[in-house]
Structure 1
Amino acid sequence: MEIMTNQRFRRTAKYLRALLFILAAAATIGAVLYFSVIGYAKLLGPPPLAVPQSTLYMADNGTVIGESNSGQKRYWVPLNDISPALMEAAISIEDKKFYSHGGFDYKRIAGAALADMKAMSKVQGASTITQQYARNLYLEHDKTWKRKLSEAFYTLRLEMNYSKNEILEGYLNTIYYGNGAYGVQAASRYYFGKDASDLNLAEAAMLAGIPKGPSLYSPFASKERAENRQATVLQAMENNGYISAAERNKALSESLKLIGKHENPDLGKAPYFQDAVRNALKNTLKFDDRALALGGLKIYTTLNLKQQKIAEEVMEQEISKDSDIQAGFVAMDPKTGHVKAMIGGRDYKESPFNRAVQAVRQPGSTMKPLLYYAALEQGFTPATTMKSEQTTFRFEDARQPYTPHNFNNKYAEGDITMAQALALSDNIYAVKTHLFLGEKALIETAKEFGITTKMEKVPSLALGTSGVKVIEMAGAYSMMANGGKKVEPVLIERIENQHGDVIYEHSEEAETVLKPELASVLTHMMTGMFDRKLDGYTSVTGRSMATAMSRPYAGKSGTTGTDSWMIGFTPQLVSAVWTGYDKGKPLELSTEQIYSKNVWFQFMEKALEDKPVKKFEPAKDTVGVKIDPQNGKLAGPGCPVKRLTYFKEGTEPVEQCTDHLNEEIHKKRKHKDKHKEKHKEEQSPWYRELF
């Protein structure tokens, strides 16, 4: 008996030793595995937190005008811009020990496992906020063991490398709230029409209850279930000490105003402008398509929504709906080069081809101001005269003779000044000037003005026969308007990444390219197209606008057989308009030739309606004198028309006009004789009246 007891004891001890050995081995293996996993996780470092986020395009006042996404509307906001009530609600209902556990709530896991075993099915979840965030970032939502192990590993890595606030911020910005809204900002805008920072307690509790089952607990799926879920969330918040019973009851009694739409009323505005912005982002700033579509960027553009709306309305009003004529339009701030409005065609849906930045069209006489700037540099003045008459230009080389014509074949048949030649758009004066300066001069000057399209060295270049782009011409005229400073068209002011860091900001040093005194003289010359004092053998080209102008303008129109242009400016704003047919069909109707003028004038008047009237101030080293616009000489006492004209100091005319001297003498003599006769009558005896 005693022997048997000893044998049992030895056998039991043997089993205990084996069990202890197994447990020790298991513990060792477990420890090795645990530290291996920890070490491997540490070695891998922080997992990336990148998720697809909507890129937003903003107007100059911060209004969203465009968006690109992968079908998931998500706008990342920092934790400071999320309502504290929403954070507390999410923690209370999803993971009340969030700030105290290391990524896993083991007690909750055990409770959930026990509940699942009793029900013989998956009835209770135990995922922490960190686990859900890991799943949203890296994994599918299937229920395999492989996915669960991967989720645990990513959870461990997140907790090791990121703070609790970073994890909570990421979770709230990635969780799905139903109806295409990903993250709290998109959800807040969709359900309540407000930012996540502005949610009150009742709204926050309603929103926090949705992620458990967006198709069940969305108030648009079932108001009753949503309110029941809201009550559960509020109770959890009270239990966790975030709110009082009184606050809970007040929130439950509050009637919520639901919106149910993704709010961006200006989304899709200015589609041609947005295309130009995207093109600049890819080709100039070198952003790739994925970064633009999913990078959560904020693109702050220069677009002014008010001016854009005016441009679109004016274009629709002034151009016949039955016409196939197309249009290109650009408005710019001449001081900064910021593009404030852009239209690339009559209908973006029918034709996304952007005629404001892509089309190359003949500018016609709008090229003449650039030519006359070159002439001013070579000693010409607004008073320089040349004969306007039908002329055939012959060349020593093998080129064919060239015979330009004025509009309607009207000529002065005598001398005219450069100021009058510009106002009347005299072609003979322009070609003579071009050939006198040399055909390279205008090409080089156009480059100074920012024109990049290739130009032909031909006599007709003076009349704008080499194609240019609307946006280039708007930039060139901006340099005249700002006194000669270099400006290039700017579409993008700055770019912010998903964290609000500025990753690009436009900056440009103010480089003076043109001579300020000559730019000023040229600008004052360009006011002549609206001044009837410069009428000659024909009327000034802006006569139809002159009587309705509310402020001084400088500008130039241009017409070829197939293209109609009007470009002009004030010190505050430049706009350029082109109209014509895409396939170069001739502009046969007179109404087709004035569309550009009408669009330009109506836009400028309405866009500047609430702006102060600003005159073109003469630059330093310029002097203004009154001249007879017919001959360019200093206006004398008998000159019927005297126009104040600006010159570079030292180049103003000194010879006084004597063309009307005999008329003045005759006028004075007649006045004197009349005065004598009246005096004689006054001295006559009183009785002479009786006879």
Structure 2
Amino acid sequence: MPPHDETSPVGPPAGSVRRPPPARAAGSGGGGGRPDPRRPDPRAARRGGDRGRTTAARTDGGATVSARPPAGRKGKPTGKKGKRTAKQKRRRIYKVLASLVVGGLVLLGVFVGVVYANTTVPSLDDVSQAQTTIVYYSDGTTEMARLGSENRVAVTLDQVSEPARDAILAAENRNFYDDPGISITGIARAAWNNLTGGSTQGGSTITQQYVKNTLLTADQTFSRKFQELFLAVKLDNNYSKDEILEGYLNTIYFGRGAYGIQAAAQTYFGVDASALTAQQGAVLAVLVRSPSAYDPANNPEGAQDRWGLVLDGMVEQGWLSSGDRSASTYPEVLPVTGSSLGIPEGPEGLIVYQALAELETKLGKSQDDIASAGYRITTTVNPTYQQAAVETVNSVMADQPDTLRQALVAVDPRTGGVLAYYGGPSGTGLDYANNPRPPGSSFKPYVMATALEQGISISSRRDGSSPQTFPDRPDQPVRNSGGASCGDCTLVQAMTRSLNTTFYGLAYDVGAENVRATALAAMGLGDTWQGTSSPVFNGRKILADPDSDGVGGSIGIGQYAVRPIDQAVGFATLANGGVLHATHYVAQVTDSEGGVVIAPETTVDAGNQVIPADVASDTTLSTEGVAEYSRRSLDDDRPVASKTGTQGQQDSTVNSTDAWMVGYTPSISTAVWMGSDDNSAIQNASGGPIFGSGLPGQIWQEFMDRVLDGTPVEELPTEQLIDGDTGNSVPEVTTEAPRTTTQAPQTTTEAPVTTTEAPPATTEAPPTTTAAPPTTAPPATTSSAGPPGLLPTTTR
């Protein structure tokens, strides 16, 4: 008998009372006899309906209940065995899809949870925001330059006016303070567009924009939007709305090189962000979406149309009254003046370069990093002194040949701070104040100081006759300028008259290397050139022959090159009693919030006694007569120590290539240099040679008088301190070559001769017959009295 089909409905009808079956008839059960009605009929199983299904019957209260196979559509039985209805198939598909969707959602939920948990939002304090570094003059308020690849000045939220904040919110995200940091509709739209090949952009909240601006790229891709979503949500959960809005306002680009609302307020309206009106704020709010397209200078009509929409949005939000909206007029916007970024184009640009180079060493950062760090750099440069330097150079050189080049550097002897710095008219051109050139006779004070240290006094008498030969150049005689000669002169007299033979011989006697050591100490220099504006010098030995590195007696008459800044510093050391303070351009540095980066008290060192005080004093005393002798005395007969210098060849004519005037009072040391780019002969507008007391002397004198005007008169040494060897007295023989009214210039000469060749004689411009400084006039033919018993030289 076939097995019982467990799928057949064999149970009694619901609600019926099951009764026990009747007793089986005798003989029933096996082989023949009457079939048991409770057993399935094998024949019924072979009739229609589902295979394997049978019709079973049971008695229930005498009635027979049949169990029939399920009917198909319209009551018909299903098809062949193993087939299912279409409805069953659809149900099965739906179940599978539902399972996949549920599983996918579960997996997506797990994925989202894991990604969210592992998404790290950096501290807003650590988010890199390049800010504008501002360089100030010594007063801390007068701006010299704004630096950086971005014009950005970070401010706190309370430093942005409320109307300006409302305008930005009205334009970009009116529900900012209520949203979860993201726009669901915007993200969905972006995702759908990405899947269907449409535009990838979608609406972004301020939080999303901030994430994009600071933490992500601006690429409109789905993956970037996905990152933006998680970061924005987590940023919104980790920080307050005010913190996010503050960061956002400091990162927006408003056009015209302005990053952040503070820079934008200054660029477009010349005010701080705290002073922005609703109308001005609306102008800036329009720029957020497209700075160039809606700059009022480029698109005034479009800019004003959108400006009105922003104000309308403010009214809708209750942030601006209808009356104020009606009374609103488009504010005046500053014209486009070009980028205010980077190094200034004028002379101050060279100061900025020097300050950045100094900070690069002190802070251990690159100049690019410093320029974009938002620092507030206060320099040592006095704005009044700097203005005087630039105006004096421009005034004196107004009618002079444009091939002439000038440099002026002023240093505070008491601190080492640079007070004024003019290295040329271009802030990005060659820095002549940092360019080594032969100093000529302006180097002689270092020879004097070396002699004093060896016990030779300033009253020592030396042979100043001309010409003379010396053991290190027996076939190349040294001559005094203009043929001047003095057989028995004190060193003071020789300094005043700038006698070459005296100081060449003195340098030879005391040792050229010793003179070099004295000068390097006074100038605060090492052994080799580093960081000059002329790369050809970098790495070479300072104050030595550029070819052999040798040092000879020519150092005594200034053959070896130094920079104008070095001369200003070296003379400042003498002015300060032999104490050298490290030269610096930076007085202090703070960050954008006022935090101290470099304190003022750390920029001035304690000083180093590099020259004995009595040596410095007597060296100063020996140079106090030069200014008067050269007709370059300061106003009110203010005491001043100085030295002129002229470098060039002299045979029958004078061919000067470099001219100097260097001098100091106790409070300021100033060096002035003049020359050319190709080391050719320099001439004034009249065609005459330029001497140290000529155009350079005029610039030095006018600058010193201008910056010292109204300041207390400071005394210089008046008594000799070192009573050393006075030398052997020899009969005094003084001769003076006749002066001529004009001197024809020679052809172009090469830069400094080596010690193996005849060194060029240093020459000085002749004093004029009047107190007025010489400018374009040729040397005067009349003489003026010099120190007792001496005649003035023809050049000074």
Q: What TM-score does the superposition give when structure 2 sets the normalisation length? A: 0.66
Determine the structure 1 residue equivalent to 2:507.
434
Q: Rate the CA distance shift 1:500–1:98 in 2: closer, same or farther, 3 A.
A: farther
Distance 1:441 1:145, change over 3 A: closer
Q: Any conservation in 1 of the 2:170–2:314 contact (CA below 8 Å)?
A: yes
Q: Which runs of 5+ in 1 are unaligned?
A: 532-539, 619-644, 654-691
Residue in 2 that maps onto 1:454: 543
Change (3 A) 1:67 1:165: same
Which residue of structure 2 lines up, in the alignment, with residue 445 of structure 1?
Answer: 518
Write the mapping of 1:91-490 to structure 2, written as runs, cut at 5 A: 91-106=169-184, 126-139=203-216, 141=218, 143-156=220-233, 158-159=235-236, 162-215=239-292, 217-223=294-300, 225-244=302-321, 248=325, 252-254=327-329, 256-262=331-337, 267-270=344-347, 271-280=349-358, 287-288=365-366, 290-291=368-369, 294-319=372-397, 320-345=399-424, 352-358=429-435, 360-390=436-466, 392-395=468-471, 400=474, 403-414=477-488, 416-449=489-522, 450-452=524-526, 453-455=542-544, 456-490=550-584
Q: Does 1:607 align with 2:707?
A: yes
- Paired with 2:521 and 2:357, the residues of 1 have a C-alpha distance of 25
Give me the whole-angstrom Cα distance separating, in 2, the residues matched to 1:379 and 1:114.
Answer: 90
2:111 corresponding residue in structure 1: 33
Distance 2:470 2:105 in 1: 104
Correspondence for 1:573: 668
What is the root-mean-square deviation of aligned Cα atoms in Å? 4.2
Per-residue deviation, 1:139: 4.9
1:181-204 Cα deviation digits (max 9, x unpaired): 332123212221222232123212
Aligned to 1:640: none
Q: Offset at 1:227?
A: 4.3
Equivalent residue for 1:530, pick from 623, 627, 640: 627
State the match for 2:632 in structure 1: 545
User: Any conservation in 2 of the 1:564–1:596 contact (CA below 8 Å)?
Assistant: yes
**Contact 1:550/1:605 (<8 A) preserved:** no
Say which SS state the counterpart of residue 560 (structure 1) adopts: strand
Distance 2:465 2:222 in 1: 93
Conserved 8 A contact 1:526-1:554: yes
User: 1:36: how far off?
Assistant: 1.1
2:166 corresponds to 1:88: yes
Matches within 5 A, 1:6-21: none
Contact 1:473 1:576 in 2 (8 A): yes
**Per-residue CA distance 1:4-35 (angstroms, 9 max, x = gap):** 89x99999998997787556534422321121
Alpha-carbon shift at residue 399 of structure 1 (Å): 5.5
The aligned counterpart of 2:698 is 598
Q: Is residue 45–residue 157 contact of structure 1 (8 Å, CA) maintained in 2?
A: no
> Structure 1, residues 61-81: CA drift from partner, whole Å, max 9, x if none?
4444344555x5444334343
Contact (CA 8 Å) 1:189, 1:262: kept in 2 or not?
no
Cα distance in 2 for partners of 1:446, 1:603 equals 25
1:178 and 1:46 mapped to 2: Cα distance? 24
The aligned residue for residue 721 of structure 2 is: 648
Matched, 1:519 2:616: yes
Larger of the two Rg values belongs to structure: 2
Change beyond 3 A, Cα 1:493–1:367: same
| Change beyond 3 A, Cα 1:324–1:16 | closer
* Percent of pairs with identical residues: 28
Residue type of the partner of 2:385? Q
Spell out, residue by residue over 1:428-485, the C-alpha distance to the aligned partner (whole angstroms, 9 max, x if none).
Answer: 4333433443333212211220244233432222111221111111111111223332
Shift of 1:315: 2.2
> 3-state DSSP class of the match of 1:211?
helix
Distance in 1 (alpha carbons) for counterparts of 2:271 and 2:125: 32
**1:46–1:387 distance in 2 versus 1, CA, 3 Å:** closer
The answer as to whether partners of 1:46 and 1:157 remain within 8 angstroms in 2 is no
Runs of 5+ consecutive residues of structure 2 not aligned to the other structure: 1-67, 73-84, 527-541, 545-549, 649-656, 727-796
Q: Aligned residues, how many?
A: 604
Name the one with the larger helix percent: 1
Contact 1:565 1:597 in 2 (8 A): yes
CA distances 1:360-418 after superposition (whole Å, capped 9, x unpaired): 222112112222222333334443333433463544xx75366433222223333x333
How does 1:646-685 map onto structure 2 within 5 Å?
646-648=719-721
1:197 and 1:652 map into 2 onto residues whose CA distance is 73
Residue aligned with 1:34, SS: helix
CA distance in 2, matches of 1:44, 1:140: 16
2:314–2:320 contact (8 Å) kept in structure 1: yes
Farther off after superposition, 189-198 or 275-284: 275-284
Within 2, Cα distance between the matches of 1:652 and 1:614? 33
Letter in 1 for 2:606: A
Distance 1:547 1:316, change over 3 A: closer
Q: Helix, strand or coil: the match of 1:412?
A: strand
Instruction: Identify the range of structure 1 (223-232 vs 35-44) with the bigger mean alpha-carbon deviation.
Output: 223-232
| Aligned counterparts of 2:121 and 2:275: Cα–Cα separation in 1 | 41
Matched residue SS, 1:488: coil
Give the CA deviation at 1:568.
Answer: 1.0
- Give, in whole Å, the separation in 2 of the partners of 1:525 and 1:569: 13
Cα displacement (A) at 1:501: 4.7
Q: Distance in 1 between matches of 2:89 and 2:427?
A: 91
TM-score normalized by structure 1?
A: 0.75
Query: In structure 1, what is the Cα distance between the partners aligned to 2:721 and 2:116?
Result: 80
- How many Å apart are 1:556 and its aligned residue? 0.8
**2:440–2:647 Cα contact (<8 Å) kept:** yes
**How many angstroms apart in 1 are the aligned matches of 2:660 and 2:183?**
72
Residues 60-111 of structure 1: CA distance to partner in whole angstroms, max 9, x if unpaired?
A: 34444344555x544433434333332233234322333444321447878x
User: 2:646 corresponds to which residue?
Assistant: 559
Distance, in Å, in 1 between the alignment partners of 2:563 and 2:294 is 55
Given residue 253 of structure 1, which amino acid in structure 2 is its aligned partner?
A: S
Structure-2 separation of matches of 1:9 and 1:346: 92
Contact 1:64–1:267 under 8 Å retained in 2: no
Map of 1:680 onto structure 2: none
